[in-house]
A and B are shown apart, each in its own frame.
Chain A
Amino acid sequence: MATADIHITEGGHDHDHDHHGNFWTTYVFSTDHKMIAKQYLLTGIFWALIGGTLSVIFRLQLGFPDADISWLEPLLGKWITEQGKLDPEFYLALVTMHGTIMVFFVLTAGLSGTFSNFLIPLQIGARDMASGFMNMLSYWAFFLSSVVMFISLFIETGPASGGWVIYPPLSALPQAVSGSGLGMTLWLVAMALFIVSQLLGGVNYIATVINMRTHGMSFSKLPLTIWAFFLTAVIGLLSFPVLLSAALLLIFDRSFGTSFYLSDIYIGGEALPNQGGSPVLFQHLFWFLGHPEVYIVLLPALGITSEVVATNSRKPIFGYKAMVGSMLFIAILSFVVWAHHMFVSGMNPFLGSVFMLLTLIIAVPSAVKVFNYLTTLWRGNLRFTPAMLFAIGLVSFFISGGLTGIFLGNSAIDIQLHDTYFVVAHFHLVMGSASFFGMMCGIYHWFPKMFGRMMDNRLGYIHFWLTFAGVYMVFFPMHYIGIAGYPRRYYSFTNFDTLNSFSDLNMFVSIAAIITFSAQVIFIFNFFHSIWRGRKATANPWESNTLEWTTPVVPGHGNWPGEIPKVYRWPYDYSKPGSKEDFIPQHIPFSMTPESNLPHENEMIKLEKEEGVNVVVVDDRKGH
């Protein structure tokens, strides 16, 4: 750790021409935050495709339980039974890996990794992250973790199958399900590496936001994206170590024979030696991470969309302080609600009611955020770019998914709803789809800064509408299926008389899922095609205020060829009355905009004149 170095030299020299790196140092072992962001993005897209494919396979099983799927044999091999059916244990593996991949590898690493890395230095006015080296380590730890997790998909005994929440004893005993053998070991190794990667990344994000802001970039002038990334990193720093502890004890139980989580287990009539453990303990530890984790996934998406909504409404964000405040409040509350995932675990009902109260309080800042979005959109000069549409899509999912959270948060109602498709519908809307839309929003919006070209708008619209409609077609029916009592993670419902009334709805959901997934091909095509063939971008195509748009079309190493711009105003001076343009970027001083200044802003200029000094040369070279 002590070897991490900071290479930042201010001043105009040698930043405008690229450093003479070879292929390896430029594209592979890069310490440049923009390259690392792209590495995260591509890895994230790769994982999203894998995770999506897995879900389509198990949706086939759920929608068409009687179909012969032996045509999948070339892909799945022995996991297709002789009758042409999906192996039931492999079904569990698919669900588990889908959850793990989507939550951690796509929406945590893919989302935070891409946008925190890309935007933090660019939006706060820094040449790079606090430690480029640690940043590189972070990506490579993630890469290694990805490799291990990927390998686990192909092993003989199958990948982990105990659900993404890996509850013991299921996850601890290979006798329970074959995926709890080597597959689970690899899962734990991969997640340990993943946590290391997240912590390295998080330390960097926090250190950068706090220490490396450009002149004038006070916390009250930070774009909401940065606030969101910053709080996300703080949450991660406090919660991932807890998952590490939980996993460590699980590793001891699995490989050393301790009994932290295991007790009184009989397999085939024979008692296991483990005595005195508590599986509920694992749930506490897991959800202490698990609930903050859902906000780790969501907050960056909220930050990204706030920025995009303000830019494309050509209006100042409504209630900047309320937005920051509610994110802060959400971040704090996210640590005290974890037991709402455990209402039916047999915990003390009084404790349950405390957690119920705390959980329902979260609805308040969430609602504040929704109103902020809506009031920002209200009577704005809306520009419906694809990014804007995805941002609005997020708001829609956040509302429809958040409402069901209020049902689930009631410990009494949760007795009926827990572990049904209602929960699946809830979190796929509020977390999965909302964050996914936040990520898409970010990609469409910052693509020009990443690659210097524009993505195709028309394809973007088609992608948006298909995905938006698709998400609702997939997840809305699940509410009904859940209320009807369908439990999640069941291989098939055909054997239960009570549970065959919704077969047609399940079929509908599966078809919708396949269509939605296929629609992503449009995005993939648009993305890769535009990298090389897209229309050339200008430096500030969306007429946005934040600092990244003051860089060259494709920022080089060090981001700004000359001095780093200084910041004079907040990032949301859109359509300011009196101003000629409908946007005033953050680096424009008030003395240049007398026509639109407010009285207190004019005060500042007056002081400036009284002092009578015009130029201050700042020597910012840091002593090493």
Chain B
Amino acid sequence: MEMTSDFKIIEEPKKTLSMHPQKFALWLFMITVVMVFAALTSAYIVRQAEGNWLVFELPQTFWYSTALIAVSSITMHWAYLAAKKDNLDMVKVAIIITTILGLLFTAAQYHGWKVLAEEGYHFVGNNVSVSFLIVLVGLHVVHLVSGMIVLLVSLVSTFKYKVHSKNLNRLQMCMTYWHFLGGLWIYLFIFLLLNHN
């Protein structure tokens, strides 16, 4: 809604505030995701306070996955900057790298679960603290997969020349969502670190 209209007549009613509707909807969607995780992490704290709570080492891999997702945010941003300069080949490369980093992240999370399982901490049968960890990590990965689908959609539109400096909205939304998913993981990781001793 880039229109500008300057009114000369005072009584002529003002144009009301308005934003890009899809970007706005994306923000609302992210709020709902935040609420899902807010609920789960609060449940975690409430349950932990009741005692009978098993403490175990977080798998080392979570540090690597954190690094991976942080780097992927940078490459995502790189894609966006490249699109601003109409450097479409660079956009494609950057999106592909971001997606690969996303896949690596997913694999790292999966590996983390496996490490836990090898140490004898399973989703079912141990303490709820393990189940909580797995639900938090798993649900985040589910969202990340949706993020990778958005990445692929953006990649396809780049190939179709639908992403360029005059048409950045889609890529911008993709970037917002990806940064959000990275931030969400970092929140979860810090939360787990802080509540794990």
Contact = CB atoms under 8 A, between A and B. Distances in A.
B194 interface: no
A131 B46 CA distance: 39
B77 to A, nearest CB: 18
A84 interface: no
B123 A256 contact: yes
Nearest to A217: B16
B18 A616 contact: no
A317 interface: no
11 contacts: A6-B22, A203-B29, A203-B32, A207-B24, A216-B16, A241-B36, A242-B39, A245-B40, A276-B52, A608-B11, A614-B9
A192 to B, nearest CB: 12
B35 A238 contact: yes
Contacts of B107: none
B153 interface: yes
Contact of A210 (B13, B17, B22, B170): B17
Nearest to B154: A2
Contacts of B174: 2
A2 B153 contact: yes
B100 interface: no
Sort chain B's interface into a size bin. Answer: 35 or more
Contacts of A619: 3, 5
Contacts, number: 163
A278 interface: yes
Given A2-B174, A260-B47, A285-B39, 17 more contacts: A1-B29, A1-B150, A130-B25, A134-B25, A207-B21, A212-B21, A213-B18, A237-B35, A239-B35, A240-B32, A249-B43, A260-B43, A260-B128, A278-B50, A566-B12, A619-B5, A622-B3
A191 interface: no
A241 B35 contact: yes
Contacts of A276: 52, 127-128
Sort chain A's interface into a size bin. Answer: 35 or more
Interface in A237-263: 237-242, 244-246, 248-249, 252, 256-260
A2 B173 contact: yes
Contacts of B50: 278
A492 B24 CA distance: 53
B8 interface: yes
B26 interface: yes
A258 B36 CA distance: 19
B124 A258 contact: yes
A284 interface: yes
Nearest to A202: B28
B11 A590 contact: yes
A70 to B, nearest CB: 46
Interface string B111-132: 0000000000001110110011
Contacts of A249: 40, 43, 135
B134 to A, nearest CB: 9
A204 B24 CA distance: 10
B170 to A, nearest CB: 6
A198 to B, nearest CB: 10
Contacts of A567: 13
A69 to B, nearest CB: 43
B43 A245 contact: yes
Contact of B125 (A214, A257, A285, A611): A257
Given A258-B128, A604-B10, A206 B46 contact: no
B57 interface: no
B33 interface: yes
A611 B39 contact: no
Interface in A540-573: 566-568
Contacts of A6: 21-22
Contact of B28 (A207, A281, A611, A622): A207
Contact of A216 (B14, B21, B24): B14
A616 B28 contact: no
A47 to B, nearest CB: 25
